[in-house]
Structure 1
Amino acid sequence: MSVDLEKRRNCIPILYTKGTHYDVGYDMGRNFSGVIKNFLEIAESLPEYLDAYGTPQGRKGYEDTLNSVKNSFPQYVRELEGVADGAAVPFHQLFLLHMDNVILSAANKNTINYPTGCSTICVNQKGNEFLGHTEDALGSTLNHYYFVSAHIISDEPQGKWRVKEEKFTSLCYAGHLPGYTMSYNHHGLVFSINTLSAKNLKPGKIPRHFITRALLSASTFEQAQKILRDSGCGAADGCSVNMTFLNQEGDRLFHNVEMAPCIDKECESRLNILTISPGETLFHTNSYLRSEEEQSNESMLESSKARLCVFSQYDKPKNGEDLKRMLSDTRHNCHRVFSDLKEARVKTICAGIFDLVGRTWSLYSDRPIDNDPLVVLPLDIKK
């Protein structure tokens, strides 16, 4: 009997792992080797990245970027080496996926322009505090993701931020490091990521995937800002981070940080921060809303505008049911909030809702308004 690989599966594996960065990476690769190898065979963007890597300019951009990551975050390079070794796949292919369009920029090739993206809604009402997120990606990513719940303890402080211990749970694309989708850590940091397409990318700087991986170590909002700003090097590309801390004192606050690449000879990312207080709502998709940033990928910008327009047609969400309804919206012909059309190049691979009062994380493999969650995880944080 053949299996339809394009069919949406009601399945999400979860790995619990403890050890060094390399140990955790190796466990990810070893346990998910099948799905990682399959993803590398069908990933739409990888052939173009490999072509760019094969040029002298692309190879130099790759080496410069890898050296910068090794200098700032050698522990995450070891972690990715562990994934490659555990899955028995080439390290450079995984690193190219983490470089994303930066490798194309290094080789002076046109960047890939698909309407890729995610939608995030933060609800901040009394007794109803939620962060909801649709995880959207190219169709090949459907059914190629998993949870990783890791506890990393190092003998010596690691990397530029001198981290000795990390404990987190993160949704991961196959072969990717944790931190670039939906995640929380044991300090109570909860966050989601929206990809942004800055036009001027910076080979030799730190790819966003590694900066958001480092974000999993943050214990305060001040520390999170420091990690995203990455003084001394800076980001190679951009993203939007939606976050809150469960253990913060006083009222619930949500923060949206638009991170843009450093410019010219500057050595830090550029940040634009918006904070919302009780009674307010935050929407973010895949375009810079407040930063004066030159953007590429017109199809993604069009999709982002359409999804924000759909959200504007709703009354302000007041509870979890309102949030599920908005995350499940399919009214737009092309740019659905929950993209489930079979012919769509970009699909919503899942949706997640963090209940910050109930301290749970619900993951849906299909539209939340019509389905029970596939799993509900408790948010396990330090007391």
Structure 2
Amino acid sequence: MPVVEKIGRRSCVPIIYTRGTHYEVGFDVGRTFSGLIQNFLATYDLLNKEYLPLYETEAGRKAYQETLDCVRQNFPQYVKELQGTADGAKVPFHKLFLLHMDEILPNTTARKSNPNPNGCSTVCCNYPEKEFLGHTEDALAEILNNIYFVSAHIIADSPQGRWKVTEEKFTSLCYAGHLPGFTMSYNHHGLVYSVNIIKAKTLASGKTPRHFLTRALLAGENFARAQQILRDAGCGAGDGVSINMTFLRQEGDRLFHNAELAPAAGPGAAESVLSVLTASPHEHMFHANKYLRLKVPEVGGAIVTSSDRRQAAFMKFPVPRSKEDIEAILGDQSDREFSIFREESDDDYVKTVAVGIFDCVARTWSIYTGNPKTSEPVVVLPIQLKTESR
């Protein structure tokens, strides 16, 4: 059985620039990062020890197929993109799709939930000339060093999917083999966002996995469309998630929004449950991996405890008013068991695989592979927006 390479934390995040159809972009991503994708699939325990065995059962195959059918109906372009990634990387499509179903399969077939504290922390700072969205990308240890940027320009011959999208241009930090949009990203309309998973207790197959809703956000032109995408009326989400976002081109004052999303609830439900909190000027907010407003049953256990402890650590800081303040918060390790920046030893089950800070005034995106309190960003990317003439 392959094991995770003991190569330490690398100061490296590769990037691909690609243009084409959804399939072509996916193929180029798969071909370019085939080594990372193949290594990740070989060493990812949840896939090999839980998702694939369930996929081989009658109930598992049924849940897989009805979820795939749902996504094909509403977002066929992203299924083609994922197929391109599978083909380019020379890996089976069903393994990649199982990554995108994530905990839907064990939850709906084996009534099993994973309480492990794999999640992220996000802080938004909204003060005059100090407008930041900072995010720790926390994931299971196998993800460490298996990440890359995708900077893509997709132009379709005809409107694609339920939102009739003809053009997408974005840059997104991606886990190996995953569609863009699930971690932290921006698009050429000026949408900047990060993602926190939330583990609702009851999930649903035959609904839209959060991975596909966050992928669809990369085409969002404004806040109204972003909410429409997340509500997913007519189908609804299959699992829970929290989105932290702002639009760099919005009129008036800077606003940051946190959207908590829960699975479509109850028999026949066909729309996600959504709650939005807005941070106006002279405000800030923090979000981890539990519902703060929606009254939705959660898995509980370590992920909720971790979220509470990270929230408590955040509350001890002064009001964040600078990039240095954001770095201090996201690099905090004062809680030795459930720190905001996660890495105490090589054997930690969950690690912070990257930290990102979006500067909404300078329009830059700084990415750190180490603790931002003690390391420099490995890259500072300009946020490039669509010109008015296009």
TM-score range, shorter chain: over 0.9
Aligned to 1:38: 39
Q: What is the rounded CA distance, in whole Å, between the counterparts of 2:15 and 2:264 in structure 1? A: 36
The one of 277, 288, 292 aligned to 1:289:
292
Is the CA contact (8 Å cut-off) linking 1:172 and 1:181 kept in structure 2?
A: yes
Q: What amino acid sits opposite 1:309 in the alignment?
A: A
Q: CA deviation at 1:52?
A: 1.0
Alignment of 1:120-135 (within 5 A): 120-135=122-137
Is the CA contact (8 Å cut-off) linking 1:53 and 1:107 kept in structure 2?
A: no
3-state SS, counterpart of residue 145 of structure 2: coil
Aligned to 1:248: 250
Q: What amino acid sits opposite 1:278 in the alignment?
A: P
Q: What is the rounded CA distance, in whole Å, between the counterparts of 2:152 and 2:203 in structure 1? A: 31
The one of 69, 73, 76 aligned to 1:74:
76
Q: CA deviation at 1:244?
A: 0.1
Is the CA contact (8 Å cut-off) linking 1:24 and 1:150 kept in structure 2?
A: yes
Q: CA deviation at 1:367?
A: 0.7
Instruction: Say if 2:358 is the partner of 1:358.
Output: no
Is the CA contact (8 Å cut-off) linking 2:114 and 2:299 kept in structure 1?
A: no
Q: What is the rounded CA distance, in whole Å, between the counterparts of 2:322 and 2:115 in structure 1? A: 35
Aligned to 2:323: 320
Alignment of 1:130-141 (within 5 A): 130-141=132-143
Is the CA contact (8 Å cut-off) linking 2:200 and 2:298 kept in structure 1?
A: yes
3-state SS, counterpart of residue 230 of structure 2: helix
Which sits farther off after the overlay, 105-114 or 202-211?
105-114
Q: CA deviation at 1:230?
A: 0.4
Deviations 1:187-223 (A, max 9, x none): 0000000000001101110000001100000001000
Aligned to 2:24: 23
3-state SS, counterpart of residue 370 of structure 1: coil
Aligned to 1:169: 171
Q: What is the rounded CA distance, in whole Å, between the counterparts of 2:61 and 2:103 in structure 1? A: 14
Aligned to 2:107: 105
Is the CA contact (8 Å cut-off) linking 1:6 and 1:142 kept in structure 2?
A: no
Instruction: Say if 2:87 is the partner of 1:54.
Output: no
Alignment of 1:193-212 (within 5 A): 193-212=195-214
Q: Which runs of 4+ in 1 moved over 6 A?
A: none
| Aligned-CA RMSD value | 1.0
Q: What amino acid sits opposite 1:27 in the alignment?
A: D
Is the CA contact (8 Å cut-off) linking 1:135 and 1:181 kept in structure 2?
A: yes
Aligned to 1:309: 312
3-state SS, counterpart of residue 310 of structure 1: helix
How many pairs does the alignment contain?
381
Which sits farther off after the overlay, 23-32 or 342-351?
342-351
Is the CA contact (8 Å cut-off) linking 2:123 and 2:326 kept in structure 1?
A: yes
Q: What is the rounded CA distance, in whole Å, between the counterparts of 2:287 and 2:360 in structure 1? A: 19
Aligned to 1:115: 117
Q: What is the rounded CA distance, in whole Å, between the counterparts of 2:260 and 2:108 in structure 1? A: 23
Q: CA deviation at 1:331?
A: 1.2
Aligned to 1:191: 193
Q: What is the rounded CA distance, in whole Å, between the counterparts of 2:317 and 2:14 in structure 1? A: 34
Instruction: Say if 2:347 is the partner of 1:346.
Output: no
Is the CA contact (8 Å cut-off) linking 1:166 and 1:217 kept in structure 2?
A: yes
Unaligned 5+ runs, structure 1: none
- Inter-CA distance 99–4: structure 2 relative to 1 (3 Å threshold): closer
Q: CA deviation at 1:148?
A: 0.2
TM-score, normalization: structure 2?
0.96
Q: What amino acid sits opposite 2:47 in the alignment?
A: L
Q: What is the rounded CA distance, in whole Å, between the counterparts of 1:292 and 1:4 in structure 2? A: 41
3-state SS, counterpart of residue 373 of structure 2: helix
Q: What is the rounded CA distance, in whole Å, between the counterparts of 1:153 and 1:216 in structure 2? A: 13
Aligned to 1:330: 333
Is the CA contact (8 Å cut-off) linking 2:365 and 2:380 kept in structure 1?
A: yes
- Inter-CA distance 221–371: structure 2 relative to 1 (3 Å threshold): same
Q: What is the rounded CA distance, in whole Å, between the counterparts of 1:197 and 1:206 in structure 2? A: 15
Q: What amino acid sits opposite 1:232 in the alignment?
A: G
Deviations 1:59-109 (A, max 9, x none): 100000000000000000000000000000010000000000101123224
Identity of aligned residues (%): 55
Q: What amino acid sits opposite 2:372 in the alignment?
A: P
3-state SS, counterpart of residue 86 of structure 2: helix
Deviations 1:23-73 (A, max 9, x none): 000001000000000000111210200111111111100000000000000
Deviations 1:285-318 (A, max 9, x none): 0000000000004110110000000000111101
Q: What amino acid sits opposite 1:218 in the alignment?
A: G
TM-score, normalization: structure 1?
0.98
Is the CA contact (8 Å cut-off) linking 2:113 and 2:201 kept in structure 1?
A: no
Q: CA deviation at 1:6?
A: 4.5
Instruction: Say if 2:389 is the partner of 1:381.
Output: no
3-state SS, counterpart of residue 103 of structure 1: helix
Is the CA contact (8 Å cut-off) linking 1:94 and 1:175 kept in structure 2?
A: yes
Is the CA contact (8 Å cut-off) linking 1:105 and 1:203 kept in structure 2?
A: no
Aligned to 2:145: 143
Is the CA contact (8 Å cut-off) linking 1:45 and 1:112 kept in structure 2?
A: no
Q: CA deviation at 1:132?
A: 0.1
Q: What is the rounded CA distance, in whole Å, between the counterparts of 1:168 and 1:297 in structure 2? A: 34
Q: What amino acid sits opposite 1:274 in the alignment?
A: L
Aligned to 2:8: 7
Q: What amino acid sits opposite 1:141 in the alignment?
A: I
Q: What amino acid sits opposite 2:298 in the alignment?
A: Q
Unaligned 5+ runs, structure 2: none
